[in-house]
């Protein structure tokens, strides 16, 4: 290992040197503990008794070779703060860990799995100018395994259930909430102890590789949540690893995050190398297609508070990490979950940006959901909550997220957020989703949203699949399937997402009627989307389309097969001599048309 790179925060491959490395005749253990008095390895191979490690390199690293330490055996590092006082830690660079509440690391040989996804990787893109429709999944609560006391499927078992479902429903990417090891189910994986260890809840590292490989064989990309901000406080993890705060801040006022976890100190080069190596590990070794980085605002600003100022060193860490990851994996997708107005999140490194590919548009999400919570007669006052996003949209490259964070902690599910009684929620949710899919930006939808789940998400329970026996939910599910597949097919909905030429407001000044008309464009196609978010029918609503224009019907939210009342037997709509097309718009409805010339439709 290049020590200069390690200490200056330029390393991306620490995992090739540190941790438990299997050889033909045993295992070599290496760990970084610069302030330890001494370090030993304990494990199944020595009856959990001390095997002293030797100082190597510059004296801040420890190593030992154990001939009878083989794959599958558990181990820990016993790190002495004095000659007699010690704490047993899991391996920061370990490839496997015990199921909670146990915490030993496990020797793993990751070379045993052979990927055969070369074709996918060669053709993979970062989805700029391409469709990106993400299905966000918490692997432990998507579906429960009745044969497992904990209810979990293994990575390999769930592959055969999840992949066909994702394809059938019109998604082309899966985003998994964090799969690195974590002690507390309720943290959902966002407070890690094993940054290089796939959680043992769902099986082994090789089984996770199998899941990713199967996704690729089915043309499904895989993104994983990655947490470079903070880590779990558990004493067996990174906290006070060598008896001193290596990975966390020593200052009490910034040591702990708002979640009670410990903040990484990004000013230390070895911490930057640790996080960069962990990020690269999932892309390189496991073939993940991207990382969604959580809580980036807490890196940009001290404690996430803009009043405390920008954390310049941490921002520079993000820039350098993303630059390095994109050099190593040019087609990998790097996403920032950031709710701040900090600029240049998705600008390239060469232009002074943070070099993310996409930023979650939290402003769009909040404004949209706030709008649909309102009574219809209040919406005229809130009308421009749905137009405001296009005032800033081209500042960044955005993903429009309706994620797990929006369906927990008393916030209600997406369908429940819609104003009104049960029957009125569904047409509004359908119309809202059509607004989302016509709006520029890539798409993300959390599991359960696709069939209008009404119970908030709980990590201990599977999704309410039984709800699909009710016609209203089944129809909603059919609608989302069709909308997803239409999005993947129609180029105007994604090709010019990041190009101002790809979007046009045809009418965004119908405040009293709550009607919006937008056009999505690319060289090959134009699509017009019309929305009536009023509870009243709008008859003969006029759209100035231009002369000799025909609209070809694509999809409507109020079709009978989706639970609405209209059939839309008429498939072509012609402009009159004044260039006007008149439409009858049902309450809480949306409709898409493809704009075609008279010549094209003959």
Q: What is the pLDDT of residue 303?
A: 87
CATH number attached to the domain at 1-359: 3.20.20.80
pLDDT of 560 strictly over 90: yes
Q: Is 422 exposed, middle or buried (0-12, 13-18, 19+ CB in 10 A)?
A: exposed
Please identify which residue in the block is written with the tokens 């919570």: 373
Q: Give the tens place of pLDDT for each residue, 138-161.
A: 999 999 999 999 999 999 999 999
Annotated domain spans of the chain:
1-359, 500-601
Q: What is the pLDDT of residue 601?
A: 42
Class of 500-601 in CATH: mainly beta
Of all residues in the chain, the percent with pLDDT exceeding 70 is 99
E strand or H helix that includes residue 118? helix 118-123
Of all residues in the chain, the percent with pLDDT exceeding 90 is 92
pLDDT band at 600 (very low <50, low <70, confident <90, very high): very low
Q: If you average pLDDT over every residue of the chain, what do you get?
A: 95
Taking the alpha carbons at both ends of the chain, their separation in whole angstroms is 68
- Rounded Cα distance between 592 and 172, Å, is 22
pTM: 0.95
Q: Which of 406, 455, 458, 398 is nearest to 432 (CA)?
A: 406
Name the CA radius of gyration of the chain, rounded. 26
pLDDT of 222 strictly over 90: yes
Answer for the pair 417, 369: CB distance below 8 angstroms, yes or no.
yes
| Residues marked as catalytic | 294, 337
Beta strands in 53-99 (DSSP E): 54-56, 61-66, 74-80, 86-89
Distances (CA, A) of 380 to 371, 513, 531, 557: 10, 7, 14, 21
pLDDT mean over 241-265: 92
3-class DSSP state of 280 = helix
pLDDT of 598 strictly over 60: no
Beta strands in 199-258 (DSSP E): 221-226, 230-231
Query: Considering only 7-11, 525-529, 542-546, which range has the smallest mean pLDDT?
Result: 542-546
């Amino acid at each position: 290992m290049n020590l200069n790179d390690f200490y200056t925060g330029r390393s991306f491959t620490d995992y090739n040197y540190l941790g438990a490395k299997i050889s033909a005749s045993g295992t070599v253990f290496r760990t970084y503990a610069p302030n330890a008095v001494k370090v030993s390895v304990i494990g199944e191979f020595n009856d959990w008794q001390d095997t002293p490690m030797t100082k190597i390199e510059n004296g801040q690293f420890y190593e030992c070779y154990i001939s009878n330490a083989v794959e599958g055996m558990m181990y820990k590092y016993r790190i002495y703060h004095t000659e007699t006082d010690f704490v047993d830690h899991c391996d920061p660079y370990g490839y496997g860990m015990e199921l909670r509440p146990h915490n030993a690391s496990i020797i793993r040989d990751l070379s045993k799995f052979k990927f055969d996804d070369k074709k996918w990787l060669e053709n993979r893109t970062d989805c700029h100018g391409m469709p990106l429709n993400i299905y966000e999944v918490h692997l432990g609560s998507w579906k429960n395994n009745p044969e497992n006391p904990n209810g979990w499927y293994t990575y390999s078992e769930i592959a055969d259930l999840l992949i066909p479902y994702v394809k059938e429903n019109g998604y082309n990417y899966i985003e998994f909430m964090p799969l690195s090891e974590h002690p507390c189910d309720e943290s959902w994986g966002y407070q890690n102890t094993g940054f290089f260890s796939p959680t043992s809840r769902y099986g082994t590292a090789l089984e996770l590789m199998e899941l990713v490989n199967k996704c690729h064989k089915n043309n499904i990309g895989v993104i994983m949540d990655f947490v470079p901000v903070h880590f779990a406080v558990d004493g067996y993890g990174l906290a006070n690893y060598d008896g001193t705060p290596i990975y966390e801040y020593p200052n009490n006022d910034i040591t702990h995050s708002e979640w009670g976890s410990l903040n990484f100190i990004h000013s230390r080069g070895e911490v930057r190398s640790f996080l960069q190596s962990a990020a690269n590990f999932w892309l390189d070794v496991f073939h993940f297609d991207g990382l969604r980085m959580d809580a980036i605002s807490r890196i940009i600003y001290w404690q996430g508070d803009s009043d405390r100022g920008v954390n310049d060193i941490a921002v520079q860490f993000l820039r350098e990490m993303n630059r390095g990851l994109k050099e190593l994996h040019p087609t990998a997708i790097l996403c920032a979950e950031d709710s701040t107005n900090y600029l240049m999140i998705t600008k390239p490194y060469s232009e002074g940006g943070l070099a993310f590919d996409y930023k979650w548009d939290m402003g769009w999400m909040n404004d949209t959901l706030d709008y649909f919570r309102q009574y219809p007669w209040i919406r005229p006052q809130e009308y421009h909550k749905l137009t405001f996003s296009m005032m800033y949209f081209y500042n960044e490259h955005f993903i429009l997220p309706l994620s797990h964070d929006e369906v927990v902690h008393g916030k209600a599910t997406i369908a429940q957020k819609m104003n009104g009684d049960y029957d009125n929620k569904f047409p509004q949710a359908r119309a809202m989703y059509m607004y989302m899919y016509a709006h520029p930006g890539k798409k993300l939808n959390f599991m359960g949203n696709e069939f209008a789940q009404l119970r908030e998400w709980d990590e201990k329970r599977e999704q309410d699949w039984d709800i699909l026996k009710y016609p209203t939910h089944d129809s909603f599910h059919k609608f989302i399937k069709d909308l997803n597949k239409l999005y993947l097919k129609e180029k105007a909905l994604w090709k010019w997402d990041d190009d101002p030429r790809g979007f046009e407001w045809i009418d965004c000044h119908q405040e009293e009627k709550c009607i919006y008309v937008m056009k999505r464009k690319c060289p090959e196609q134009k699509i017009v989307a019309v929305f009536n978010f009023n509870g009243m029918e709008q008859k003969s609503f006029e759209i100035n389309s231009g002369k000799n224009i025909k609209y070809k019907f694509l999809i409507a939210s109020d079709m009978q097969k989706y639970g609405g009342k209209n059939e839309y037997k008429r498939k072509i709509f012609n402009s009159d001599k004044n260039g006007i097309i008149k439409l009858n718009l049902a309450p809480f409805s949306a409709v898409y048309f493809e704009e075609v010339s008279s010549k094209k439709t003959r």
